[in-house]
Amino acid sequence: MTASPSPEPAAPSPPPAHRGVSINTAFPEPGLLELPWDTPLEDWPEQVLAAYPRGISRHVVRFARVGEKVVAVKETTQYYARREYGLLRKLQRMTTPSVVPDSVVTDRYSPDGELLPAALVTEHLSFSLPYRTIFEQVPSPGTIDRLVDALASLIVQLHLSGFYWGDVSLSNTLFRRDAGEFAAYLVDAETGELHPQLTRGQREYDIELARTNVAGEVMDLLAGEHMQQRLAQAGVDPASVDPFAVSERLVDTYTGLWDELTATEIFPVGDRWRVQARVQRLNDLGFDVEEASMDADESGQVHLRPRVVEPGHHARRLLHLTGLNTQENQARRILTDIDQFGHALYPGLPEDLTAQLWMREIFVPIMAAVPAGLRRKREPAQMIHEVLEHRWFMSEKAGKDVPTQDAVQDYVQSYLTERPDEKDVF
Protein backbone atom coordinates (compact mmCIF):
# COMPACT_ATOMS: atom_id res chain seq x y z
CA MET A 1 0.00 0.00 0.00
CA THR A 2 1.44 3.25 -1.05
CA ALA A 3 1.77 5.80 1.70
CA SER A 4 -0.27 8.87 1.13
CA PRO A 5 1.84 11.94 0.63
CA SER A 6 2.32 14.21 3.61
CA PRO A 7 0.16 17.27 3.40
CA GLU A 8 2.05 20.33 2.32
CA PRO A 9 2.64 22.84 5.08
CA ALA A 10 0.13 25.61 5.12
CA ALA A 11 1.31 28.80 3.53
CA PRO A 12 2.16 31.46 6.12
CA SER A 13 -0.54 34.00 6.72
CA PRO A 14 0.17 37.22 4.91
CA PRO A 15 1.20 40.06 7.20
CA PRO A 16 -1.73 42.25 8.19
CA ALA A 17 -2.30 45.10 5.84
CA HIS A 18 -1.02 48.44 7.06
CA ARG A 19 -3.74 50.27 8.88
CA GLY A 20 -3.90 54.01 9.21
CA VAL A 21 -4.83 56.01 12.26
CA SER A 22 -7.63 58.51 12.76
CA ILE A 23 -6.84 61.84 14.44
CA ASN A 24 -9.54 64.38 15.18
CA THR A 25 -8.01 67.68 16.27
CA ALA A 26 -8.67 71.38 16.57
CA PHE A 27 -4.95 72.12 16.06
CA PRO A 28 -3.71 70.25 12.95
CA GLU A 29 -0.08 69.34 13.55
CA PRO A 30 1.65 66.94 11.12
CA GLY A 31 4.01 65.85 13.90
CA LEU A 32 1.13 63.95 15.51
CA LEU A 33 1.27 61.45 12.62
CA GLU A 34 4.90 60.67 13.44
CA LEU A 35 4.17 59.34 16.94
CA PRO A 36 4.23 55.52 17.27
CA TRP A 37 0.49 55.00 17.46
CA ASP A 38 0.92 51.31 16.53
CA THR A 39 2.67 50.72 19.86
CA PRO A 40 1.00 50.54 23.30
CA LEU A 41 1.63 53.79 25.14
CA GLU A 42 3.56 52.16 27.98
CA ASP A 43 6.07 50.83 25.41
CA TRP A 44 6.74 54.10 23.58
CA PRO A 45 10.48 54.64 22.97
CA GLU A 46 12.40 57.17 25.03
CA GLN A 47 13.34 59.27 22.01
CA VAL A 48 9.76 60.49 21.54
CA LEU A 49 9.03 61.07 25.22
CA ALA A 50 9.54 64.11 27.42
CA ALA A 51 10.44 63.20 30.98
CA TYR A 52 7.95 65.43 32.78
CA PRO A 53 6.73 64.63 36.29
CA ARG A 54 3.46 62.70 36.17
CA GLY A 55 0.73 62.61 38.74
CA ILE A 56 -1.07 59.46 39.83
CA SER A 57 -3.53 58.25 37.18
CA ARG A 58 -5.72 55.23 36.58
CA HIS A 59 -4.65 55.37 32.93
CA VAL A 60 -1.33 55.06 31.16
CA VAL A 61 -0.13 58.63 30.53
CA ARG A 62 3.00 59.79 28.71
CA PHE A 63 4.39 63.15 27.61
CA ALA A 64 5.66 63.40 24.03
CA ARG A 65 7.21 66.05 21.82
CA VAL A 66 5.20 67.14 18.79
CA GLY A 67 6.90 69.85 16.78
CA GLU A 68 7.59 72.79 19.07
CA LYS A 69 5.21 71.72 21.81
CA VAL A 70 4.83 68.94 24.35
CA VAL A 71 1.59 66.99 24.69
CA ALA A 72 0.19 64.61 27.28
CA VAL A 73 -1.19 61.36 25.82
CA LYS A 74 -3.68 59.25 27.80
CA GLU A 75 -4.96 55.85 26.70
CA THR A 76 -8.65 55.24 27.29
CA THR A 77 -11.73 54.07 25.44
CA GLN A 78 -12.93 55.82 22.31
CA TYR A 79 -16.14 56.88 24.05
CA TYR A 80 -14.38 58.48 27.02
CA ALA A 81 -11.67 60.07 24.87
CA ARG A 82 -14.26 61.82 22.70
CA ARG A 83 -16.41 62.74 25.68
CA GLU A 84 -13.52 64.25 27.68
CA TYR A 85 -12.22 66.08 24.61
CA GLY A 86 -15.63 67.69 24.14
CA LEU A 87 -15.89 68.70 27.81
CA LEU A 88 -12.42 70.24 27.83
CA ARG A 89 -13.19 72.23 24.68
CA LYS A 90 -16.33 73.62 26.30
CA LEU A 91 -14.41 74.52 29.46
CA GLN A 92 -11.83 76.32 27.32
CA ARG A 93 -14.54 78.38 25.64
CA MET A 94 -15.80 79.29 29.12
CA THR A 95 -12.23 80.33 30.11
CA THR A 96 -12.30 77.87 32.99
CA PRO A 97 -8.81 76.86 34.22
CA SER A 98 -8.14 73.52 32.56
CA VAL A 99 -5.71 71.86 30.18
CA VAL A 100 -6.15 72.52 26.46
CA PRO A 101 -7.50 69.51 24.48
CA ASP A 102 -5.47 68.80 21.37
CA SER A 103 -6.90 65.70 19.69
CA VAL A 104 -8.52 62.29 19.89
CA VAL A 105 -6.68 59.37 18.27
CA THR A 106 -8.63 56.26 17.27
CA ASP A 107 -8.25 53.25 14.92
CA ARG A 108 -4.88 52.35 16.41
CA TYR A 109 -3.58 48.89 15.46
CA SER A 110 -0.41 47.05 16.40
CA PRO A 111 1.73 45.54 13.57
CA ASP A 112 0.00 42.18 14.10
CA GLY A 113 -3.44 43.70 13.76
CA GLU A 114 -4.41 44.04 17.43
CA LEU A 115 -6.71 46.97 18.14
CA LEU A 116 -5.14 49.35 20.67
CA PRO A 117 -6.93 51.77 23.00
CA ALA A 118 -7.93 55.21 21.82
CA ALA A 119 -5.93 58.16 23.10
CA LEU A 120 -6.77 61.63 24.33
CA VAL A 121 -4.07 64.21 23.60
CA THR A 122 -3.88 67.45 25.60
CA GLU A 123 -1.31 70.24 25.53
CA HIS A 124 1.21 70.24 28.34
CA LEU A 125 0.56 73.19 30.67
CA SER A 126 3.88 75.06 30.72
CA PHE A 127 5.37 75.85 34.14
CA SER A 128 2.85 73.55 35.85
CA LEU A 129 3.67 70.86 38.39
CA PRO A 130 1.85 68.01 40.16
CA TYR A 131 1.26 68.57 43.85
CA ARG A 132 3.79 65.90 44.86
CA THR A 133 6.60 67.67 43.02
CA ILE A 134 5.74 71.01 44.61
CA PHE A 135 5.52 69.55 48.11
CA GLU A 136 8.84 67.76 47.63
CA GLN A 137 10.48 71.06 46.66
CA VAL A 138 8.98 72.94 49.63
CA PRO A 139 7.92 70.31 52.22
CA SER A 140 6.00 72.35 54.78
CA PRO A 141 2.46 72.53 56.17
CA GLY A 142 2.11 75.95 54.52
CA THR A 143 2.74 74.45 51.08
CA ILE A 144 -0.04 71.89 51.34
CA ASP A 145 -2.40 74.57 52.73
CA ARG A 146 -1.75 76.82 49.72
CA LEU A 147 -2.31 73.89 47.36
CA VAL A 148 -5.72 73.03 48.82
CA ASP A 149 -6.70 76.72 48.83
CA ALA A 150 -5.95 76.80 45.09
CA LEU A 151 -7.94 73.60 44.58
CA ALA A 152 -10.90 75.06 46.50
CA SER A 153 -10.86 78.15 44.27
CA LEU A 154 -10.77 75.94 41.16
CA ILE A 155 -13.76 73.91 42.37
CA VAL A 156 -15.71 77.13 42.94
CA GLN A 157 -14.93 78.32 39.42
CA LEU A 158 -15.95 74.96 37.95
CA HIS A 159 -19.19 74.90 39.93
CA LEU A 160 -20.02 78.46 38.87
CA SER A 161 -19.61 77.24 35.28
CA GLY A 162 -22.05 74.38 35.89
CA PHE A 163 -19.31 71.73 35.83
CA TYR A 164 -19.69 68.73 38.13
CA TRP A 165 -16.25 67.15 38.46
CA GLY A 166 -17.11 63.78 39.96
CA ASP A 167 -13.51 62.97 40.90
CA VAL A 168 -12.05 65.97 42.71
CA SER A 169 -8.50 65.34 43.87
CA LEU A 170 -5.05 66.86 44.01
CA SER A 171 -3.91 64.16 41.57
CA ASN A 172 -6.35 65.37 38.90
CA THR A 173 -5.01 68.92 39.18
CA LEU A 174 -1.92 70.78 38.01
CA PHE A 175 -0.55 73.82 39.81
CA ARG A 176 1.29 76.92 38.67
CA ARG A 177 3.12 79.32 40.95
CA ASP A 178 1.17 82.52 41.51
CA ALA A 179 3.09 85.16 43.49
CA GLY A 180 3.52 83.19 46.71
CA GLU A 181 0.32 81.22 46.16
CA PHE A 182 -0.72 78.65 43.55
CA ALA A 183 -3.21 78.60 40.68
CA ALA A 184 -4.94 75.28 40.02
CA TYR A 185 -5.95 73.76 36.67
CA LEU A 186 -8.24 70.81 35.99
CA VAL A 187 -6.42 67.97 34.20
CA ASP A 188 -8.79 65.00 34.20
CA ALA A 189 -12.41 65.63 33.15
CA GLU A 190 -13.31 62.01 32.41
CA THR A 191 -16.00 61.81 35.11
CA GLY A 192 -17.21 65.38 34.64
CA GLU A 193 -20.61 66.62 33.58
CA LEU A 194 -21.59 70.07 32.31
CA HIS A 195 -24.99 71.45 33.31
CA PRO A 196 -26.69 74.84 32.95
CA GLN A 197 -26.49 75.09 36.74
CA LEU A 198 -25.49 72.67 39.49
CA THR A 199 -27.89 71.67 42.22
CA ARG A 200 -26.86 71.99 45.83
CA GLY A 201 -26.70 68.20 46.03
CA GLN A 202 -24.28 67.96 43.12
CA ARG A 203 -22.01 70.57 44.67
CA GLU A 204 -22.08 68.94 48.08
CA TYR A 205 -21.31 65.53 46.62
CA ASP A 206 -18.30 66.95 44.78
CA ILE A 207 -17.07 68.54 48.00
CA GLU A 208 -17.50 65.35 50.00
CA LEU A 209 -15.46 63.51 47.36
CA ALA A 210 -12.82 66.23 47.66
CA ARG A 211 -12.77 65.91 51.45
CA THR A 212 -12.20 62.15 51.25
CA ASN A 213 -9.74 62.14 48.35
CA VAL A 214 -7.55 64.98 49.64
CA ALA A 215 -7.26 63.47 53.12
CA GLY A 216 -6.21 60.15 51.57
CA GLU A 217 -3.71 61.81 49.20
CA VAL A 218 -2.07 63.78 52.01
CA MET A 219 -1.81 60.62 54.16
CA ASP A 220 -0.22 58.77 51.26
CA LEU A 221 2.13 61.68 50.60
CA LEU A 222 3.36 61.78 54.19
CA ALA A 223 3.80 58.01 54.40
CA GLY A 224 6.40 57.73 51.63
CA GLU A 225 9.94 57.01 52.80
CA HIS A 226 11.46 59.57 50.44
CA MET A 227 9.05 62.24 51.62
CA GLN A 228 9.83 61.38 55.23
CA GLN A 229 13.48 62.07 54.47
CA ARG A 230 12.69 65.36 52.74
CA LEU A 231 10.56 66.46 55.69
CA ALA A 232 13.34 65.59 58.12
CA GLN A 233 15.86 67.56 56.04
CA ALA A 234 13.52 70.56 56.13
CA GLY A 235 13.01 70.21 59.89
CA VAL A 236 9.32 69.42 59.51
CA ASP A 237 7.59 66.90 61.77
CA PRO A 238 5.13 64.83 59.69
CA ALA A 239 2.78 64.91 62.67
CA SER A 240 2.45 68.66 62.16
CA VAL A 241 0.49 68.00 58.95
CA ASP A 242 -2.97 66.67 59.82
CA PRO A 243 -4.56 65.19 56.65
CA PHE A 244 -8.06 65.61 58.04
CA ALA A 245 -7.43 69.23 59.02
CA VAL A 246 -6.12 69.83 55.48
CA SER A 247 -9.27 68.38 53.92
CA GLU A 248 -11.45 70.43 56.30
CA ARG A 249 -9.54 73.53 55.25
CA LEU A 250 -10.47 72.73 51.65
CA VAL A 251 -14.16 72.50 52.54
CA ASP A 252 -14.10 75.67 54.65
CA THR A 253 -12.27 77.67 51.96
CA TYR A 254 -14.70 76.47 49.30
CA THR A 255 -17.75 77.26 51.45
CA GLY A 256 -16.55 80.75 52.39
CA LEU A 257 -15.71 81.68 48.80
CA TRP A 258 -18.92 80.21 47.39
CA ASP A 259 -21.05 82.10 49.92
CA GLU A 260 -19.28 85.40 49.23
CA LEU A 261 -19.76 84.99 45.49
CA THR A 262 -23.37 83.83 45.48
CA ALA A 263 -25.15 84.73 48.75
CA THR A 264 -28.04 87.20 48.81
CA GLU A 265 -27.31 90.29 50.89
CA ILE A 266 -30.25 92.15 52.49
CA PHE A 267 -30.03 95.80 53.61
CA PRO A 268 -32.22 98.92 53.93
CA VAL A 269 -32.81 100.84 50.74
CA GLY A 270 -30.94 103.81 52.23
CA ASP A 271 -27.72 101.81 52.50
CA ARG A 272 -26.98 101.94 48.80
CA TRP A 273 -23.26 102.09 49.56
CA ARG A 274 -23.52 98.37 50.36
CA VAL A 275 -23.84 97.61 46.63
CA GLN A 276 -20.45 99.09 45.79
CA ALA A 277 -18.95 97.58 48.92
CA ARG A 278 -20.07 94.10 47.80
CA VAL A 279 -18.63 94.67 44.33
CA GLN A 280 -15.34 95.84 45.85
CA ARG A 281 -15.13 92.75 48.08
CA LEU A 282 -15.60 90.54 45.03
CA ASN A 283 -12.96 92.53 43.12
CA ASP A 284 -10.58 92.04 46.05
CA LEU A 285 -11.19 88.28 45.78
CA GLY A 286 -10.30 88.49 42.09
CA PHE A 287 -13.81 88.40 40.60
CA ASP A 288 -15.82 90.80 38.46
CA VAL A 289 -19.60 91.08 38.73
CA GLU A 290 -20.99 90.58 35.24
CA GLU A 291 -24.62 90.58 36.34
CA ALA A 292 -26.52 91.03 39.63
CA SER A 293 -30.11 91.21 40.78
CA MET A 294 -31.36 94.00 43.08
CA ASP A 295 -34.92 93.61 44.31
CA ALA A 296 -36.70 95.93 46.77
CA ASP A 297 -39.46 94.37 48.85
CA GLU A 298 -42.50 96.01 50.48
CA SER A 299 -40.64 96.62 53.74
CA GLY A 300 -37.99 98.74 52.04
CA GLN A 301 -35.31 96.07 52.13
CA VAL A 302 -33.03 95.53 49.14
CA HIS A 303 -32.06 91.98 48.19
CA LEU A 304 -28.73 92.02 46.37
CA ARG A 305 -27.40 88.84 44.77
CA PRO A 306 -24.59 88.47 42.25
CA ARG A 307 -25.87 86.33 39.38
CA VAL A 308 -22.82 86.06 37.13
CA VAL A 309 -19.31 86.49 38.51
CA GLU A 310 -16.18 86.19 36.38
CA PRO A 311 -12.76 85.30 37.86
CA GLY A 312 -9.62 87.12 36.77
CA HIS A 313 -10.37 90.75 37.76
CA HIS A 314 -6.74 91.77 38.34
CA ALA A 315 -5.36 89.64 35.50
CA ARG A 316 -7.72 91.31 32.99
CA ARG A 317 -6.84 94.76 34.28
CA LEU A 318 -3.10 94.10 33.98
CA LEU A 319 -3.54 92.58 30.52
CA HIS A 320 -5.36 95.72 29.41
CA LEU A 321 -2.64 98.00 30.79
CA THR A 322 0.51 96.11 29.80
CA GLY A 323 -0.34 93.14 27.56
CA LEU A 324 1.06 90.77 30.21
CA ASN A 325 -0.87 87.49 30.57
CA THR A 326 -0.58 86.43 34.21
CA GLN A 327 -2.15 84.51 37.06
CA GLU A 328 -4.44 86.49 39.37
CA ASN A 329 -2.10 86.97 42.34
CA GLN A 330 0.82 87.79 40.06
CA ALA A 331 -1.32 90.50 38.48
CA ARG A 332 -2.32 91.84 41.89
CA ARG A 333 1.34 92.09 42.95
CA ILE A 334 2.48 93.76 39.72
CA LEU A 335 -0.41 96.25 39.78
CA THR A 336 0.62 97.24 43.31
CA ASP A 337 4.19 97.85 42.12
CA ILE A 338 2.96 99.89 39.14
CA ASP A 339 0.87 102.01 41.52
CA GLN A 340 3.82 102.58 43.88
CA PHE A 341 6.12 103.28 40.93
CA GLY A 342 3.71 105.93 39.61
CA HIS A 343 3.23 107.66 42.98
CA ALA A 344 6.99 107.82 43.55
CA LEU A 345 8.17 108.91 40.10
CA TYR A 346 5.22 110.09 38.03
CA PRO A 347 2.51 111.46 40.36
CA GLY A 348 -0.65 112.50 38.57
CA LEU A 349 0.15 110.58 35.39
CA PRO A 350 -2.74 108.50 33.99
CA GLU A 351 -2.60 104.82 34.92
CA ASP A 352 -2.16 103.55 31.38
CA LEU A 353 0.88 105.77 30.77
CA THR A 354 2.34 104.86 34.16
CA ALA A 355 1.98 101.18 33.28
CA GLN A 356 3.83 101.67 30.00
CA LEU A 357 6.67 103.49 31.77
CA TRP A 358 6.82 100.69 34.36
CA MET A 359 7.16 98.17 31.52
CA ARG A 360 10.05 100.16 30.03
CA GLU A 361 11.87 101.00 33.26
CA ILE A 362 11.18 97.93 35.44
CA PHE A 363 9.91 94.93 33.48
CA VAL A 364 12.21 95.09 30.45
CA PRO A 365 15.44 95.68 32.45
CA ILE A 366 14.61 92.81 34.82
CA MET A 367 13.97 90.34 32.01
CA ALA A 368 17.06 91.55 30.12
CA ALA A 369 19.20 90.90 33.23
CA VAL A 370 18.12 87.24 33.43
CA PRO A 371 20.36 85.00 31.29
CA ALA A 372 18.44 83.23 28.51
CA GLY A 373 19.38 79.83 29.93
CA LEU A 374 17.60 80.61 33.20
CA ARG A 375 14.31 81.81 31.76
CA ARG A 376 12.87 78.30 31.73
CA LYS A 377 12.87 78.23 35.52
CA ARG A 378 9.96 80.60 36.07
CA GLU A 379 7.18 82.27 34.11
CA PRO A 380 8.04 85.93 33.40
CA ALA A 381 5.34 87.25 35.73
CA GLN A 382 6.44 84.93 38.53
CA MET A 383 10.04 86.00 38.00
CA ILE A 384 9.01 89.66 38.27
CA HIS A 385 7.17 88.93 41.52
CA GLU A 386 10.17 87.10 42.97
CA VAL A 387 12.56 89.93 42.02
CA LEU A 388 10.24 92.48 43.66
CA GLU A 389 10.08 90.30 46.80
CA HIS A 390 13.86 89.89 46.72
CA ARG A 391 14.27 93.66 46.42
CA TRP A 392 12.05 94.19 49.44
CA PHE A 393 14.01 91.72 51.60
CA MET A 394 17.33 93.25 50.50
CA SER A 395 16.03 96.74 51.31
CA GLU A 396 14.85 95.59 54.74
CA LYS A 397 18.25 94.09 55.46
CA ALA A 398 20.16 97.15 54.19
CA GLY A 399 17.85 99.64 55.89
CA LYS A 400 17.45 101.57 52.63
CA ASP A 401 15.95 101.18 49.17
CA VAL A 402 17.94 98.81 46.97
CA PRO A 403 17.88 99.59 43.22
CA THR A 404 15.99 97.09 41.11
CA GLN A 405 19.06 96.28 39.00
CA ASP A 406 21.06 95.36 42.12
CA ALA A 407 18.17 93.23 43.34
CA VAL A 408 17.79 91.30 40.07
CA GLN A 409 21.53 90.58 39.88
CA ASP A 410 21.56 89.22 43.42
CA TYR A 411 18.34 87.27 42.77
CA VAL A 412 19.85 85.57 39.72
CA GLN A 413 23.13 84.71 41.44
CA SER A 414 21.88 83.69 44.87
CA TYR A 415 18.50 82.14 44.08
CA LEU A 416 17.45 81.55 40.49
CA THR A 417 20.52 79.60 39.39
CA GLU A 418 19.76 76.97 42.07
CA ARG A 419 16.12 76.47 41.08
CA PRO A 420 15.03 73.56 38.84
CA ASP A 421 13.56 74.22 35.40
CA GLU A 422 9.76 74.37 35.52
CA LYS A 423 8.93 74.92 31.87
CA ASP A 424 10.58 71.64 30.92
CA VAL A 425 11.18 69.40 33.91
CA PHE A 426 13.51 66.46 33.23
What would the pLDDT profile of 76-100 be if each residue is shown by its tens digit? 999 999 999 999 999 999 999 999 9
Tell me the whole-structure pTM to 2 decimals. Answer: 0.86
In this prediction, residue 149 carries a pLDDT of 96
In the prediction, which pLDDT does 366 show? 94
Residue 1 has pLDDT above 50, yes or no: no
Q: What is the mean pLDDT of the chain?
A: 89
Q: How confident is the model at residue 426 (pLDDT cuts 50, 70, 90)?
A: very low
Q: Give the least confident one: 14-18, 179-183, 394-398.
A: 14-18
Per-residue model confidence (pLDDT) at position 421: 78
- What percent of the chain has a predicted confidence (pLDDT) above 70? 93
Return the pLDDT at 54. Answer: 59
How confident is the model at residue 218, as a pLDDT? 95
Q: Residue 75: its pLDDT value, please?
A: 96
Give the number of other Cβ atoms within 10 Å of residue 5's Cβ: 6
- What is the share, in percent, of the chain residues with pLDDT greater than 90? 65
Q: What is the pLDDT of residues 118-162, one digit of tens each?
A: 999 999 998 999 999 999 888 889 999 999 999 999 999 999 999
pLDDT score for 164:
98
pLDDT digits (tens, 9 = 90+) for 397-406: 999 989 999 9
pLDDT > 80? residue 74: yes
CATH of 128-261, one of 3.10.20.310, 1.10.510.10, 3.40.50.300, 1.20.58.220: 1.10.510.10
pLDDT band at 302, cuts 50/70/90? confident
Instruction: Tell me: pLDDT of 384 over 90.
Output: yes
Supply the pLDDT for residue 57. 66
Report residue 233's pLDDT band, with 50, 70 and 90 as the boundaries. Answer: confident
Quick one: pLDDT at residue 117? 95
Least-confidence region, from 180-189, 192-201, 299-308: 299-308
User: Of 155-169, 233-247, 345-359, where does mean pLDDT reach its minimum?
Assistant: 233-247
- Is the pLDDT confidence value at 15 over 50? no
Q: What is the arithmetic mean of pLDDT over 167-184? A: 94
What CATH class does 22-123 carry? alpha beta
The reported pLDDT for the residue numbered 55 is 55
Instruction: Please give the pLDDT value at position 358.
Output: 96
Q: What pLDDT score was predicted for residue 11?
A: 47
pLDDT at 370: 93
